[in-house]
Amino acid sequence: MRRASLARSFRWWNWCPIHPPFPLFLQSIACIIESYQRGYAYPFLRKVINVANLRSEEKGEILVVYFNDAKILDEAKIQQIGNELMEKVGEAPNAKLLLNFSNVTFMSSAMIGKVILVNKKCKGAKVNLKLCEISDNVMEVFKLMRLNKILDIQKSEEKALAGFDKKGLFR
């Protein structure tokens, strides 16, 4: 008898946030829809939906990375973006990487932490990193944290692309 009750507690609908009085078929449909919205194929299984959060293109010798989302707030999304950015550091041709924040209007402090980690990895891999087109809201936070002193931030993509070619002291 104990085995049967233990098995009943591990049925997938027991993990679903919607419980009776809904009929079982409505419960299961609602749970599956909610799990897909969270990015899971079935409740409490591994993630299978991997939506690209970044778009990249090569402009000459430089890999330009664009962010697809306007607001980067969700912790899972920040983790995915961080992983994708780390991969892009290794893909940068001629060790030149440009992060274009033109679509981003707001991002959490955790995302700023990911940008700092990417900067650290770029320095370790001797990749030249520049950031451009950062919105005023995000730039205020960068200035408060004095990241504008650490990171090479440019107003426009054109200035940033031209900045890769500059040599010497005022790079």
Longest Cα–Cα distance of the chain, Å, equals 79
pLDDT over 70 (residue 68) = yes
Residues 76-95, mean pLDDT to the nearest whole number: 90
pLDDT of residue 48: 38
pLDDT of residue 171: 47
pLDDT of residue 170: 53
- Domain ranges for the chain: 2-38, 54-163
In whole angstroms, how far apart are CA 83 and each of 13, 132, 155, 162? 32, 20, 26, 28
In whole angstroms, how far apart are CA 142 and each of 109, 131, 146, 148? 10, 11, 6, 6
The pairing of strands 128-132 and 106-107 is: unpaired
Grade residue 64 by pLDDT with cuts at 50, 70 and 90: very high
Query: For the ranges 15-24, 56-65, 72-81, which has the lowest average pLDDT?
Result: 15-24
Are 112 and 77 a contacting pair, CB within 8 Å?
A: no
pLDDT over 80 (residue 75) = yes
In a 13 Å sphere around the CA of 72, the CA atoms on its Cβ side amount to: 28
Residues 7-34, mean pLDDT to the nearest whole number: 55
- What is the residue-wise DSSP string for 9-61? HTSGGGGSS--TTS-HHHHHHHHHHHHHHHTBSSTTS-B------EEEEEETT
β-bridge partners, 154 = 132
105: buried, middle or exposed (CB in 10 Å: 19+, 13-18, 0-12)? middle
Q: How many CB atoms lie within 10 A of CB 128?
A: 17
Are 35 and 42 a contacting pair, CB within 8 Å?
A: yes
Grade residue 165 by pLDDT with cuts at 50, 70 and 90: confident
β-bridge partners, 63 = 58, 97
What pLDDT digit, counting tens, does each position of 129-149 carry?
A: 999 999 998 999 999 999 999
pLDDT of residue 49: 42
Class for domain 54-163, per CATH? alpha beta
